[in-house]
Structures are given as C-alpha cells and as structure tokens.
Chains A and B, each alone.
Chain A
Amino acid sequence: MKFGVVVFPGSNCDDDMIHVLGSVLGAEVEKLWHKDTQFEGYTPEDCIVLPGGFSYGDYLRAGAIARYSPIMQAVISFANQGGKVIGICNGFQILCESGLLPGALVRNEHHKFISKNVCLRVETTDSLVTSGYQKGQIIKMPIAHAEGRYVTNEGGLAVLQKNDQVLFRYSTPEGALFSENGSTDNIAGICNKERNVFGMMPHPERASEAILGNTDGLALFQSLYKGELQAT
C-alpha cells in the first residue's frame, strides 16, 4: 500500500501530509505533480491524497481551477476503478468541484477565515478512515479555512444520510452538534456512496503527533493504511 500526494500550485499541506504518512506512519509515500496526466504503478489498494492549501490561490472558487489540472482526470479514473482518494481541506474542495464527492464548500457563514482546534463527532465507523474510532467518539482537530461551509440540497442530504456517508460532524466537547462554519447538518467530512473517496475540512495531519499536543488524527491514517475495516 502506498500513498501519492498530489501537489497543485498553491498546495501548502503536502509536506505535512508526507511527514505524517512517511515519518510518523512509516508508509511509502511520494509526491505527484499536477501537470502529469497519469501516475504509474498504483492499484486500488493504494491511496491518492489531495492535500490542503490554496490551489491557484483559491481564486474564483476554492478548487475550481485545480479541478481541471491534468492529473485530475487520472485521479477521477482511479477513483472510478475503486482506488482510494482522500481530500483534506482544499483537497475536499477539489473533490467536490470535480464531482467525486457530492455537494459544495462555500464561504463560512460569518465570512471570516477560521483557524482553531474544533471537536468532531465520529458519525460512522463504516469507512476506512473512521473504523479506528468509536461511533459517537469526540475527537479534536484543527480547522483552517475560509470556504468550509458544506452545502447540499435537501435531496442530497437525504442521500448522504441514507447511505451513511457522513463521516464527521462538528460538535461541542460534550458531543452536542454545533456549527463552526454554518455547514449543512454540521457536516465536517463525508465519503462517496462507494466508500472509496473521502473528503473532510479538518486537518488530521495536524493532529497526529504528541509534540503537537494532539494525536486524535492518527487513527484515521492508521486505519486507512491498514486498508481494512476493523470489527466495530
């Protein structure tokens, strides 16, 4: 199992992601360049990571330009063949723009950038990124975004709920749902119906080392790396 971290112009969490996957998790990891039209030697066992940052400065809409990067066609085919793809923050925005995940991420409700540690409630353990947690578990992770308000229409929301596609919701430390940015249904992260494409605004790679005072994000990478759903 290996990880490929796509570097878009303006990606700025690529190095953090590689540090956690490579040095903390001990996984094989490499950078992929946005101008390449394909990536060699990846099987559906492997995982493509779209890291956080401000691809193309977030100009026009976050993710709108990166979505047309040459490599995205390859990422879309990879996902359609069952390959694992995870997008964090700007990566999540690109996944929504590209149609690999439903919905959209728009300007935060109060129109300010929010950078803080927030609490998340784990909503399902039936996914490769949440199987290392308990359902209902409250974990802490930093968010840092201006366009992180997840929106979808009523029908879209019903589908997410029916298929158990909501991975994380924003909550209080006690577990009551609480909107940090105005997201529909307090959604912080979702997966697709096939459960091989994952997107979330919070940054697990910033919460995976004791020296940072927070290791709540590590279980996400561990279960993804292990590549199998643990018995819940």
Chain B
Amino acid sequence: MQETEQAVDFEVAAKLGLTRDEFDKICSIMGRTPNFTEVSIFSVMWSEHCSYKNSIKYLKTLPRDGGRLLVAAGEENAGLMDIGDGEACAFKIESHNHPSALEPYQGAATGVGGIHRDIFTMGARPIAALNSLRFGDPNHPHMRHLIKGVVSGIGDYGNCLGVPTVGGEVYFDPSYQQNILVNAMSVGVVKIGETISACADGPGNPVFIVGSATGRDGIHGATFASADLTEDSAEDLPAVQVGDPFQEKLLLEASLEIIKTGAVVGMQDMGAAGITCSTSEMSAKSGTGMTINLDLVPTRQINMHAWEILLSESQERMLVVVKKGREKEIQAIFDKWDLECSEIGEVTDTGRIEFYQHGELVADVPANPLVLGGGAPVYDREFVRPKYMDDIKSINAPAVDDEALISIAKKIITSPNIASKKWVYEQYDHTVRTGNTNTIDPSDATIVRLKDSEKSLAVTVDCNSAYVHADPYKGTLIAVSEAARNIRCSGGFPLGVTNCLNFGNPYNPEVYYQFVNAIKGMGEACRKYNTPVTGGNVSFYNQSVIKDRTEPVFPTPTIGMVGLVEKKEHGTTLSFKSDGDHILLIGPSPTNIDGSLYVREILGHRLTPCPEFDLEVEYSLHETITTLITKALIAGAHDISEGGLFVSLMESAMAGNKGFDVSLPAHVSKNMYLFSESQSRLVISVRNEKLTAVEAILAEQALPFVRLGFVGGSSSCIDGIDFGAISNWAARYQNALSAILEQE
C-alpha cells in the first residue's frame, strides 16, 4: 500500500498551506476526501505563486488589451505584441527572489532559464534578456557573496544559452538586506502564425515530456508537510534546483524546430508545480483532460512517489501535445538534438487529469477547478495606509559653497546606486546575436536591431522603489513613465508592459495598501501610454525578520517595457557627440529635492516624499521627444532620473568622452537644481544649425526648456565652477562599485 493512499485530513492540508475553507472547497469539488497526492496537487495549484489568489482581483484592473496586443495577459505563457511586417514580440518578466536568497548562483540561473522557456515555449526565439536586481549593503560580506553568486548565475546561464543580457538595473537599499530581489526578463521574436499555444486540444493526441529527467527538486513545501506521512523521503531532499543551460539550449532549438513541422498541438514549459501545472493548465485551456502514466516519466531517482514526480520542479522540461500519427516526426527532431523525449499519456475528453502509477490510479482531479480563472480561490485583502507615510516630509536643500557642491557631486557619482554597473554587466555576454546596438554608445533603453528589417526593439526595466515606498501610487506612475521615457529617448514608442510585483506579506494591510495603490498607478500610466500589461508575476512575502517583527522590502513593482523603433535611423544614444552642440534641458523647472538620492543618501533622510510628477506633462514630453527624433533634429537624448541633472550631464559627457560648459538659471539653488529628481525632464544635445527648429517645436508644444550651454573640450564646468576633467569623473564612476565588490 502506498503512502499516498493514507488518510488526509485538514491537519495535513494545513501543513501544505491550505486554509480550512480551501480544504472544504477541495472536498466538495472532489465529492470525497482527496488522497495525499491529490491534496498536494491542489495545494501547489492554489498556492499564491500559481493561483495569484491575493492579487488577481487587482491585476484584472490593469489594461489588458489595446495597442498592438495580439495575445492578452494570462492567455498564454507571455504576452504577444504586433511589431509589423508579420512579426510579433513576446516578452515577460518573472521573479526568482526566494530561490536566489537560498542559493544565489542556482537561484538566479534557474530564474533566467525559466523566463526564457516561457518565451520559446510560445515559439518565439529569445533575442534579449534584461534583469532587475535589488541588494542590501554591498559593504557587507554576506551581501557580496549573494551579489557575486547572482551575477555569475545570470551570466553563466544566459551566456551559455546565447541570449545577450542587454539591460537592467541594480539597486542597493537596506530594505533588501535579508530579502534580495532577482527579476529576470526575456524578449523574443516570432513570425505571426508560427506561435504555439499552451493547449491540449484533440482527445486521443499523445502527450510527451521532453528534456531533463524528473528529480526530487523544489518540492520542499510538500515534503515538509508530508514528513510524518512518509518516513523515507524527507531526508536528503534538495532544496535547490540546478540549472543546465546546455540542456536549455538544446530544448530551445528543438522546440522551435518541432513547431515548424505543424505536428505540434500545444506546448508548455514546466516551472512551478511541474507536471501538475502544465497538465492541468493545458487541459483547462482546451476544456479537455489527460491520462498520464507516471511510470513513463524519466526520473533521476528510483522509487519516486507519485506526488514527488508531480510536484517536482526539475528544470529544462517541456510538455508537448502532438497530433496523433505524427509522433515520429517529433521524435526524430528530439533525437537530432540528443534530447530525451517520452510519450507519457494522452489527451482525453473527461475534463479530468488522471495520473497512474504502477497500474493504479493515484490521482484523479478535475482540471478547471485547479487553475487561475477556473476554480482557484480569489481573495480581497484589507488594506490600510501605512503609518510611516505620516512621517514623510519634505526638506529644503541646504545652502552649500562651491567646494561642498563638488564634494556632493563626487559622493553621488560614486554611490553604488549611481556608479557604473560594469562589474556586473561585463560578466554578461551582451554582444552575442549581434542585435545590441548600444555596446559602444549607450541609450536610455537598449536598442536591439532586428536583422533583415528596418526596425529595432527598445527594451528597458525600471522601478525606483524608494519613490514607490514614499507614495505607492505616484511612485508606480513614475516607474511606468520612466520606462516609457527611456524608450522615447532611444527613438522608439512604447508597445507594452510586463510587470514583476515584489511586495511584502499580502496579509499585512499596510503592504496590501502599497500593492493596491501601485496597481492603481500602473493602470493609470499604462492607459495613458496605451501600453497594455501583457503579463508578469507577483512575488509576495518579501520581507526581513527583525527581532520580533517583519519589515517588508520597499514595494518594488518592476516595469519591463518593450518599444518599437520603426526606422534604424531613429535610434538615438545618450552621449554628447560634437564640440559646440547646444545642451538643452526640456521639462518643468524643479522646485525641491524630494525623493532624490541626494536627500536619502547624502543628507540621510529616508522618509522623503516622491518627486514632483504630472502625467500630462510627462506625456507631452514623450510626444515632443519623438517628434524631435523622427525629424532628425537632435544629436543625443538622456532623461533625468536618479542623481538628477548632474548625473545626466556627466553620463552623457562620459559616454561621448566630451566635456561641457553649462550655466544654471539665475537665482536657483545650485544643489537643488543639480540633484533634484523632479520628473518629466530630459537633457538633449543639438547641432547649432538645428537649434531654431528644435526651439520652435518646443515652443509649439508649450514645453518649458532651458539652454544650459555647450558640449566641448574635455572638462566640466557648471556656472563657472571648474568641476574638472571628464576622465577623472569617468574613473570615479567606473571604479566605485568594483572597488566595493572586490574588497576582501
């Protein structure tokens, strides 16, 4: 008699993370008490991770259609946008926070592997990867261990797979000290009509499992819960999954090749909840069912229990439904790529997924009640405005002399949050596939050219979580806006958004307030920019344990955005290009230093308001920069974000290896003006002969602008104050983070 047939009661269900109501609901769906395998299946499918039970209500308020959207959020593994000429772009971002905290190298690596599988399982070839990383204090030895592990994990996986890591962000804040965030994004391209759905149509069609053998990976929750049920299994269960990027590369090539045969009905990768999730989601999508013989699943260990096979999160596996009679064609392609491929069952018309092992039916559950949008629970949690928000207050920029001004500038340029991240990105292959056009001259968003096409994609990930912490609604408006601004400054227009929502415990009403308001801001901004949210993921329970309480991470709704650059010549970089070019600042004049890195890191005032922001002004700025770029009027464009105008000027100067001489408007406080992070502002550089045309357009759009000065020489000068050689600033900027991370 198998352990799986032992009696299950609420106590067992509770250990698997199910509530009393959920367990009762399961019993009523089943019409009986489920066995252990069955209750395990429900517990993973109704987990936060798979069911989105505490977030879906609000996620549904986000714009999920419109624009150039071909496949809406939630319908497939990733969203799909029309990019013209019969091509589409699939993209998605996902978190791997908790696995990365446990084992940074494998956690980050498998995060990258998982997100690329989501893209190529749809038939799209991944052409670019991005990531958003949040760490605590890099001066802390354990944090450096985590940083090094995460970065080499991302690098080793993506480099081997041959997908360039073209962009990303790295932030450091004490709120992430005990809970780092690792968000990975993949962008792929596919011909319209050559996509494949995650469905299981056609009863009688065979079901194949392809790729790595199934082992006892990532089934920790169920293991813990069943420890007193089974005596032989709890020992030695690995808590981590090991990624095999080589296997993934083979899986990528073989998957794209089998789609071309036309013999594939549906395909889904196996991520969270493994075989359980892919069989139930594919069946539910098609209104079909499946019978699966677990004895035919290749396993890495002998004597695996049914629930272990079903819940295993072993990496680099796919479930493929093939047209009956065409199995040999598919088999031949997997053989060609040396991939293990086993027929494990077939599609049925029962609406149930039935799992057999050793000739016995070990689990028999209806597919639809398991899945999001089917029978999975949906909750609305209470929320309350966080107390800390009452303590947020604005402070004025203190008066400083010229010497102090330079000293502040040096501190800002060498802050780990501002300094060059080259220590990180030089471990990522960013030139493979010869698509990244920014490896020598950067842009605000990375421009990835499409071969044999007039077009390029512009891709970016953005979120200043300190702003979101200060004001979840406005901060998220800004996160979306900054992403859109980056794409506009690079010569593109935004197509769509994927989001990675990293928050604390949803049962904490203050955390839920952050979540609800972040979603509100995101929805409003996305509607304004006509960028539907095509998918993404939610990661709750990101928190630090401090003595007797938990402290959530800064609310971090990371925005991944993809834009389209319609013509190659629209691609715009941020560098200063030629001596004598005019430097213009476009956008409203700042009036305070709220929310800036200057306030938080230099003045040491963490509870500072979100910077000034107006969505209408921002949008008008976007339209204007696009007009200037498409009329070929500007030499370079760079938005003003973390660190303020000073950092923006210096980054453009360093990128072009050019100096500048600028004057600030009369009567402004220099440190306020240079370090304010007031939003909706850009620095552009303009050839002299184009200045009149540029200013005419700015006047027409009623956008405020200031002529700051000129590009030229090799040194920096602000209001007559000599800030010194650009090469010295570049040395500070380039070396600051490496020096911290390379210390013994």
Please determine if A and B sit in direct contact within the complex, based on CB atoms under 8 angstroms apart.
yes
Are A54 and B246 neighbours in the complex by a CB distance under 8 Å? yes
Residue A115 at the B interface, CB < 8 A? yes
Partner of A19, one of B159, B428, B434: B434
Are B249 and A10 neighbours in the complex by a CB distance under 8 Å? yes
Partner of B440, one of A113, A114, A209, A213: A213
Partner of B430, one of A13, A115, A213: A115
Residue A124 at the B interface, CB < 8 A? no
Rounded to whole Å, the gap between the CB of A167 and the closest CB of chain B is 20
Rounded to whole Å, the gap between the CB of B155 and the closest CB of chain A is 5
Rounded to whole Å, the gap between the CB of B491 and the closest CB of chain A is 13
Partner of B249, one of A12, A112, A117: A12
Are A213 and B427 neighbours in the complex by a CB distance under 8 Å? no
Contacts across chains A and B counted by CB atoms under 8 Å: 100
Are B250 and A206 neighbours in the complex by a CB distance under 8 Å? no
Residue B441 at the A interface, CB < 8 A? yes
Q: With A9-B338, A53-B162, A203-B431 as given contacts, are A212 and B437 in contact (CB-CB < 8 Å)?
A: yes
Q: Which residues of chain A have C-beta atoms less than 8 A from B336's C-beta?
A: 35
Residue B568 at the A interface, CB < 8 A? yes
Residue B244 at the A interface, CB < 8 A? yes
Q: Which residues of chain B have C-beta atoms less than 8 A from A115's C-beta?
A: 155, 159, 425-431
Tell me, in angstroms, the Cα distance from A41 to B319 when the chains sit together: 40
Rounded to whole Å, the gap between the CB of B740 and the closest CB of chain A is 16
Are A206 and B426 neighbours in the complex by a CB distance under 8 Å? no
Interface centre among A116, A203, A205, A211 (most CB of B within 10 A): A211
Residue A144 at the B interface, CB < 8 A? yes
Are A116 and B426 neighbours in the complex by a CB distance under 8 Å? yes
Are B432 and A206 neighbours in the complex by a CB distance under 8 Å? yes
Are B161 and A12 neighbours in the complex by a CB distance under 8 Å? yes
Are B246 and A59 neighbours in the complex by a CB distance under 8 Å? yes
Rounded to whole Å, the gap between the CB of B424 and the closest CB of chain A is 11
Partner of A23, one of B155, B244, B246, B451: B451
Query: For this complex, into which size category does the number of interface residues on chain A fall?
Result: 20 to 34
Q: Which residues of chain B have C-beta atoms less than 8 A from A146's C-beta?
A: 156, 159
Residue A164 at the B interface, CB < 8 A? no
Residue B439 at the A interface, CB < 8 A? yes
Q: Which residues of chain B have C-beta atoms less than 8 A from A209's C-beta?
A: 434
Tell me, in angstroms, the Cα distance from A56 to B427 when the chains sit together: 20
Rounded to whole Å, the gap between the CB of B446 and the closest CB of chain A is 13
Rounded to whole Å, the gap between the CB of A231 and the closest CB of chain B is 32
Are B432 and A211 neighbours in the complex by a CB distance under 8 Å? no
Q: Which residues of chain A have C-beta atoms less than 8 A from B437's C-beta?
A: 211-213
Rounded to whole Å, the gap between the CB of A85 and the closest CB of chain B is 22
Are A54 and B249 neighbours in the complex by a CB distance under 8 Å? yes
Rounded to whole Å, the gap between the CB of A41 and the closest CB of chain B is 22
Residue B452 at the A interface, CB < 8 A? yes
Are A12 and B432 neighbours in the complex by a CB distance under 8 Å? yes
Residue B378 at the A interface, CB < 8 A? no
B425: nearest residue on chain A (CB-CB)? A115
Q: Which residues of chain B have C-beta atoms less than 8 A from A53's C-beta?
A: 162
Are A142 and B439 neighbours in the complex by a CB distance under 8 Å? yes
Q: Which residues of chain B have C-beta atoms less than 8 A from A203's C-beta?
A: 431
Tell me, in angstroms, the Cα distance from A54 to B568 when the chains sit together: 31
Q: Which residues of chain B have C-beta atoms less than 8 A from A212's C-beta?
A: 431, 434, 436-437, 439-440, 449
Tell me, in angstroms, the Cα distance from A116 to B155 when the chains sit together: 13
Are A142 and B431 neighbours in the complex by a CB distance under 8 Å? yes
Are A57 and B439 neighbours in the complex by a CB distance under 8 Å? no
Give a binary string over A114-143; 1 marks a CB under 8 Å from any B CB, 0 the rest. Answer: 111100000000000000000000000010
Partner of A57, one of B152, B246, B436, B441: B246
Q: With A57-B244, A113-B427 as given contacts, are A214 and B434 in contact (CB-CB < 8 Å)?
A: no
Are B432 and A16 neighbours in the complex by a CB distance under 8 Å? yes
Give a binary string over A186-217; 1 marks a CB under 8 Å from any B CB, 0 the rest. Answer: 00000000000000000101100101111000
Residue A28 at the B interface, CB < 8 A? no
Question: Which B243-262 residues have C-beta < 8 A from chain A?
Answer: 244-247, 249-250
Rounded to whole Å, the gap between the CB of A105 and the closest CB of chain B is 16
Tell me, in angstroms, the Cα distance from A203 to B430 when the chains sit together: 12
Q: Which residues of chain A have C-beta atoms less than 8 A from B434's C-beta?
A: 16, 19-20, 205-206, 209, 212
Give a binary string over A141-173; 1 marks a CB under 8 Å from any B CB, 0 the rest. Answer: 010101000000000000000000000000000
Residue B224 at the A interface, CB < 8 A? no
Residue A58 at the B interface, CB < 8 A? yes
Rounded to whole Å, the gap between the CB of A71 and the closest CB of chain B is 14
Residue B528 at the A interface, CB < 8 A? no
A110: nearest residue on chain B (CB-CB)? B742
Tell me, in angstroms, the Cα distance from A13 to B337 when the chains sit together: 17
Are B449 and A211 neighbours in the complex by a CB distance under 8 Å? yes
Give me 23 A-to-B residue pairs in the complex whose CB atoms sit less than 8 angstroms apart, sorted by A's number: A9-B249, A9-B338, A10-B249, A12-B161, A16-B433, A20-B434, A57-B244, A57-B245, A57-B247, A57-B249, A113-B428, A114-B427, A115-B428, A115-B431, A116-B426, A117-B440, A206-B431, A206-B432, A206-B434, A211-B449, A211-B568, A212-B449, A214-B440
Name B's A-contacting residues (CB within 8 A).
152, 155-156, 159-162, 244-247, 249-250, 336-338, 422, 425-434, 436-441, 449, 451-452, 568
A13-B432, A57-B245 known, 10 other contacts, Cβ within 8 Å? A9-B250, A52-B432, A54-B249, A57-B246, A58-B160, A142-B439, A146-B159, A206-B431, A206-B434, A214-B440
